[in-house]
Chains A and B, each alone.
Chain A
Amino acid sequence: MAATDIARQVGEGCRTVPLAGHVGFDSLPDQLVNKSVSQGFCFNILCVGETGLGKSTLMDTLFNTKFEGEPATHTQPGVQLRSNTYDLQESNVGLKLTIVSTVGFGDQINKEDSYKPIVEFIDAQFEAYLQEELKIRRVLHTYHDSRIHACLYFIAPTGHSLKSLDLVTMKKLDSKVNIIPIIAKSDAISKSELTKFKIKITSELVSNGVQIYQFPTDDESVAEINGTMNAHLPFAVIGSTEELKIGNKMMKARQYPWGTVQVENEAHCDFVKLREMLIRVNMEDLREQTHTRHYELYRRCKLEEMGFKDTDPDSKPFSLQETYEAKRNEFLGELQKKEEEMRQMFVQRVKEKEAELKEAEKELHEKFDRLKKLHQDEKKKLEDKKKSLDDEVNAFKQRKTAAELLQSQGSQAGGSQTLKRDKEKKKYLHPPWLSKHWPTWLPHQSPALQSVVFPGPQSHSPFSEGSKRRYLMSFPLASSLALSSYDSLKVTALKLCEKSATSLFTPSPAHKTRLLEKTA
């Protein structure tokens, strides 16, 4: 491949070539401006000051709108920052304005750490921009720049000097942001006091080495006005959103019994100067200073902290790529380690869980076995009981057959005795109480009934229905059959009684009802 030969003829000190005609690149600034207009501008203001110094009111007055927000209370536990973004449009210029306000500044009893949230917030904005810039795929041109461009520091109008809190905070902020100190609520100070106050403040700032923002004086178009304004720092401002009729114009003012303070009157306060400086003359410069000075400083410190260097100890130029690589490998290694750890932890946890589950399973099995055993025991007991009952039934049956046998033997022994026997039998088989209750033509020789209803020859006493039933109930299988037949028989008996009451026997009404009751 052919080697490249690049001959650069001029470095610095290029010769100026005269133009023979109109080329037309003087429209370049217009092209630039058009592009910027279509992109839109953004401007971020930070208002630092104690509660009640009129920060929100001043913002409203500056931008001629009513930004919403309620006044903060004095009971905040720490300093917080409240940020709001608004879209302002004037003719064809769109401005994305972000106003950040400290809430609770100077309200605590111990104010040592009051400046920390503010510094952290500013650093966070720088960090966000740096991260975006360091990204591999970045979209810097559409990135919403949230870095603070101007910090308005509100000084309380004591008339004496700066408070120590102010000094400390400003000292911490001066290397991070453009500070513009202003004296708030300056309608509380008289003119002579004001000049003394301003001198005192500036001298204190200088003696403490606080770098406040100086309006640029290098460009001749704005050098003059900026120079004079620099002498008026810090501006004594008054904010007001109320409009009063003064003369024949409506203007923003504050009304007191002793007079009216006009906000836009240069003799009354420096509000107009502040607006000029902040917005109309130096907005672009504020943004540039933020980007080229404060942000670069932050970036340098941050990158050095991260370990990047421009030259290594051998004073050979370090390549950022190499450091990137090293960091990247380190990072990957860390990630891998973490992954390993996590995997191990996961495996351990899984094992533990498994053990637990196994235990639970074992327990369940044991319980199941226990219950099964119980169940079997119960079943066995019931079977034993059943067996014993069956034995009793058999014994009873045997006794009955024995009794019958005896009876048949008795009848064989004496015929004369037969009648007697018969009578006895009859008496026995048809005891008087039964003949009353039981019609003779009804089958009374069913063996089940006999064996059940008629007890052994020992007892003669009549059985109540209840006891009979109870007796029947102790023999489940046989008894149910007997009971049902017994019940059905009883029912039919009653019916027949009803039918032929007079022919067979006339039960007394009381008796009849008793029967009916008992069968019911």
Chain B
Amino acid sequence: MASDEVSPLPFISDNDLKPFYVLHKASNSQQHNVRKPVGRTSRKVKVNLSSSLAATDESEVFDNDQLHNNSRMKNFHNAWVKIESTIKDVLHNIHSDVFNEISSWVQKSFGEICSSGKLDANKATCSYPIVTDVTSKQIFTALVVMSNIEFVDDLQTFADLGVHLHSHGCHVANLSSVDFSAKSGIGGCLRSLLRQILDGSTDAADISILASWYMEHDNFKSPVVVIIEDMDRCSGSVLSDFILMLSEWVIKIPVILILGVATNLDSSKTILSSKAVQHLSPSKFFLGHPADRLDAIIEAVLVKPSSGFLVGHKVSAFLRNCFLRQDGTLTSLVRAVKMAIVQHFLMEPLSFTVKGLLDEEVTEIDAWPTQALDLPSCMRLSEPKSKALLSGASMKEMLNMWSSVVLCLHEVGKNQSTTLLDLYDEALDPKLYNLRNSDYLESKPDHQRPSWIHGINGSSSEKQKGRLISRMIRQIKDMPPAGLFQLLEKWDEQTKGVDKIHEKVKEIQLQEPFKDNNLKDSPSKSRKQSTRNIGNLDRGTKALNEKAVAQITCMTRDHMQPIECIPFHEIVCFKNVDKLQAVLLGDPRKRIQLDLLECNKFLKCSCCTKSNNVPISSMHDTSLMYTLSQEHGNLINLHDWYQSFKAVILQKTVKDKQKSKVSPSPKKRKIAAEPQNITEASVQARFCRAVTELQITGLLRMPSKRRQDYVQRVAFGL
């Protein structure tokens, strides 16, 4: 209240005290330009992007700059669109089986409802539905179990399911726990149900509207499907009421429920009232495991170089850590990849050349621009820059080989539930690649290997690194013939289009001694025959196993060159993991404290540089106060704090006084005169403002009635 009475504050404008205001409207003159936003943005972007290039001759480059920026933005847009659609397709394919299953179940259930209770217009329009027996009050319910406690990843799934069912002619409403809150009650969910099904033409919460709408036109020919994406988070009583109400009307409006269940199948019994449970006639469906989805997305987006955008090893390790340690959601992984694209095209000026590089249809690829020769990866090349390297084609080839080898390895690991994420991470590691090129991968007998390769469950991850690939290779050695045969077929598939590798794989396939033995259906063979052949076969397949091992070893050694080992990779490869992390996961708790404790880093003023974080009077007041507060414990006595603040502020005065006594030059006296002006009142005011600012940052808890003279510290350590 007090603040209202204070004389008008000069620094506050009217707008500052309005809850909201329109700052400006979209400028009209630019409206017409909006059509080609890509070009426009790029013009702006040009100005200040940090570049990995040394300063180039301005005048020479300037003309091309515009052009390059435009094509850079175009490339970005293409990559962005491509990745978005790829992800969408991948998820769609993964779910298509379950979706079809649910869709046919919906049709079947609808048929059953229709056959049990006959609809006619007379019944439908009477005020209360006539229900003949209890069994007809059943609602067909699909419990869709997500094998993932994180419902975020499945939000899109349920949205897609809605679209899928809609395309099959159902009337679909997608509801979520927000609609089933205790606060808005049954009216809330009913309203959003009606909004969605009746296409927003009503705001009333009355189910009879739905009933009469259902009888109109051809609506009654298909069922009403209500999808609730996160049943576990709904208010139990509201959901129970909703179900009871639907069950009363089920003959007139054949509603089919689809409930997303994140925990376990019994949860519906704990959440809902027993009366409501009685009315459900449940069926179960299972969504795919999130790990499968993860693998599919990584394969499509990151392993197969289709978008002209790749990430370096450190970034992939960061993505992996994010997924495994922090968040565990696919959504955040996808978000991180998208963010990485944005950052890459923002930061890499040469990314304008990406066009067509990784596109399969484009065969003609321009040579790298001259600036690219200055890239560190190119400078590293010891031999004279050969012509082959100067075009993107060689890179494209290398990347294709890399991805096919990775996928071949993944085929090996699939039975052992190795995630592609781990494999991908390891395959990108340039250090390991260099190691591999020495003797590391040669299949020595186990006891000859350096001991760290088979450390027991990896006492440290450093030792574990690089184990995955070698372990997979060893697996091939012990593979049964049938498995090997399948594996070779998969390899054949994966290496199609990569001639160098494909030929060799074919070679092994042709050599196979079991070709005529028909191993494919070996279990059905007569025992007699198989026992006779076993010795022969054994030797033959062992040799084949060896060959496969030799082949994959050779493939990993020669063709699995991580992107960071390829010259010019900077153009397509995003490596700046720090930037990505900063943009993706802010850390306000740490950063804000650091701002306060090391304010000089940001302000770079001359006066406080030497202080070395010892509180001195010239420091920013709040920063000074926070530094002082570090000396206190949990509680800060306001009186003590005030006194120490005051002491620091007045410090300079004393020193200067002494100085001025020694050398009473007029200039120094002038400086000294200023701090002398510090009155008790101004110290109090500064103290108050600093406390308020700390309160805004949430680093202090204000005095309670009990402890009027203390504030409480909130953060201890960064």
Query: Are A and B interaction partners?
Result: no
| B interface with A by C-beta (< 8 Å) | none
